[in-house]
Each structure stands twice: as structure tokens, then as C-alpha cells.
Amino acid sequence: MPTDLPLVSIVMGSESDLAVMRPCADLLGTLGIPCEVRIMSAHRTPELVAEHASGAAARGLQVIVAGAGAAAALPGVVAAHTRLPVIGVPIDATALRGVDALYAIVQMPSGVPVATVGIDGAKNAAVLAARIIALSDPEIARRLDEMTQQQAENVLDSDRRVREETQ
């Protein structure tokens, strides 16, 4: 059932994270999944984060994607305030190249899960969010299947070109 209401909320700690997180919104848009993009900080606007996460399901959201660098508290704080699936995107924002954010997001305490993609892996976060939504939406499932088929065709095309060029 098509809707303009967002199904995915993409949150990040600062505007500087937008360059990393934009591919998530772009891919969701390509798949026809409406999303919202918000900036909120687990440290600077904790009340906003709690309010956003705790009301997400009631607003019709199905998944929250949270990108964060450095201490990367945002995904965990979001997960603490919602029953929705939360996908964390560690962002390369410090001299540690995102490893600090990866560890912070992946090492959540028992009972507060955050699915975690690779450093700067916003596209994979979009695919995972789409797969979650596709469990109950056959049209999204069909679009994901088409995308997977197109990726396979792209690899086969590359293989043909390389074999032709190297023979």
C-alpha cells in the first residue's frame, strides 16, 4: 500500500555526517521507500533523541538507521527508546578512521540490539532496512529482487568485458 509517510528514519549526530548518510536515503528513494532525514545528538539533544525514538512506531516508522562517529552513542540511545529495529552506521569521523564508532555501535549491552553495518556503510544500511520492510511488503521485495538481479548482471557484464580485453 503506497504511502508518503516515512517508513525509515535516518538520524545522524551532525550535518557533517550527511555526506556519508545520503546514499542511504538515495537508495531507499530508488526502492520507493519513503524516509525522513534528521539531525539529533545523543549528547547535545538527548531529549529530542528519546522523544523521536519512543514515538517512532506510533508515527508508522518501521526501521531507524542511525549514523554516528567518534563515541557513536546515537544508535544505542535510539535503540534504548524504541522496539523498532535500529541499524547503526559507524562513520569515519576521527583519527581512528571509524573503528572507534564501529566498536561503540557493535558492542551494545544485552537487550539493546543495534544491527551494525561496516564503516561508512550507509548503502548497506538501506538494503538491510529494505529487507526488513520487504518481509511484509511484496512490492518492496520485488524491487529488491530486481536490484539484486541488476547487480548480478553488472558483474557478468564486467566479467565479459575483462575477458575480452585480456585475451
pLDDT digits (tens, 9 = 90+) for 103-127: 999 999 999 999 999 999 999 999 9
> What is the pLDDT of the chain when averaged over all its residues?
96
Give exposure, 42-52, as e/b (b: 16+ Cβ within 10 Å). Answer: beeeeeebbeb
71 — pLDDT class (breaks 50, 70, 90): confident
pLDDT for the residue numbered 126: 98
As a whole number, mean pLDDT of residues 41-49 equals: 97
**Integer Cα distance of 158 and 166 in angstroms:** 12
How large is the angle between the packed helices 122-134 and 18-30, nearest 10 degrees? 30
Please state the pTM of the whole predicted model: 0.94
Which residues make beta-bridge pairs with 67? Answer: 12, 89
Let me know: does 128 contact 116? Beta carbons within 8 Å: no
Residue entry with cell 504511502: 3
Q: Residues 4-34: pLDDT tens digits?
A: 899 999 999 999 999 999 999 999 999 999 9
106, with CB counted inside 10 A (0-12, 13-18, 19+), is middle
Let me know: does 84 contact 114? Beta carbons within 8 Å: no
Domain boundaries, the chain: 8-137
Q: Where are the beta strands (DSSP E) in the chain?
A: 8-12, 35-39, 63-69, 86-91, 115-116
Give exposure, 62-76, as e/b (b: 16+ Cβ within 10 Å). Answer: bbbbbbbbbebbbbb
% of the chain with per-residue pLDDT over 90: 96
**Integer Cα distance of 52 and 59 in angstroms:** 10
Q: The CATH number of 8-137 is which of 3.40.50.410, 3.40.720.10, 3.40.50.1970, 2.102.10.10?
A: 3.40.50.1970
pLDDT for the residue numbered 4: 83
Has residue 2 got a pLDDT over 80? Answer: no
DSSP letters spanning 67-90 = EEETT--HHHHHHHT-SS-EEEEE
Has residue 1 got a pLDDT over 50? Answer: no
